Chains A and B, each alone.
Chain A
């Protein structure tokens, strides 16, 4: 068996995504009503619109993460309690589909930040997609400067992933101390 390359020897930034998972296995219809992966209402995950007004100098009260560099969309990683965003129903795990008619599904993180920071009124289309919480996004690319360094909340990690995650977390902390915040 080929020896795995040491993570320190990777020449390119490392992005960790969960391994491919098959969909839930088929079960008889009469058993679906009690199965947690079958009986979820789709309406809970459908797109919805959030409108935020941003007075000059005010914070919108949320963080974003993701972006084109990570080959992912833009997701809400944190919502400040009692903020305008919180009161408008924005929540961690929301994917931002568009902001003021700009498509956010294939946008650079820095561009997304710019749009959110400069807008006085934000018409944001989002959808709740909590699966995004298990995705590890490790912003090591130059254009990822200032990106939210929160790592995803995967519950169980194998030893190798745990070690890499700890190392990445240290890098994120170091980067965060010098990078501009992505809080809005």
Chain B
């Protein structure tokens, strides 16, 4: 069940969910939106994409099926 990850970890109105395949996402019940990025750190917790140290915070690199890379914010 989606629940606060820790009392002091998530801001008000936020909780998290865990997909059936293990990916963690964050839920904002005030704006009725979801995101892969932790609302405090701006980093994905476990979304299946590799974090690259040379990208700005909040960006990830993904790949299309043709092997081209693209960037996700």
Chain A residues within CB distance 8 Å of chain B: 4-5, 10, 12, 14-20, 22-26, 29, 32-33, 36-42, 44-45, 71-72, 93, 127-135, 158, 160-161
Chain B residues within CB distance 8 Å of chain A: 1-2, 5, 16-29, 32-36, 46-50, 62-67, 70, 72
Closest 3 CB pairs of A and B: A23-B25, A131-B21, A40-B18
Cβ–Cβ contact B34 & A19, under 8 A: no
Cβ–Cβ contact B67 & A40, under 8 A: no
User: Once the chains are docked, how many angstroms separate the CA of A118 from the CA of B67?
Assistant: 34
Cβ–Cβ contact B70 & A20, under 8 A: yes
Cβ–Cβ contact A38 & B67, under 8 A: no
Chain B residues positioned under 8 Å from A36 (CB to CB): 20
Cβ–Cβ contact A26 & B65, under 8 A: no
- Write the nearest CB–CB distance from B17 to chain A, whole angstroms: 5
A-B contacts, 18 listed (Cβ < 8 Å): A10-B67, A14-B66, A15-B63, A17-B65, A23-B36, A23-B47, A24-B19, A25-B34, A33-B1, A37-B17, A37-B20, A40-B17, A44-B18, A45-B22, A71-B50, A93-B22, A127-B22, A135-B48
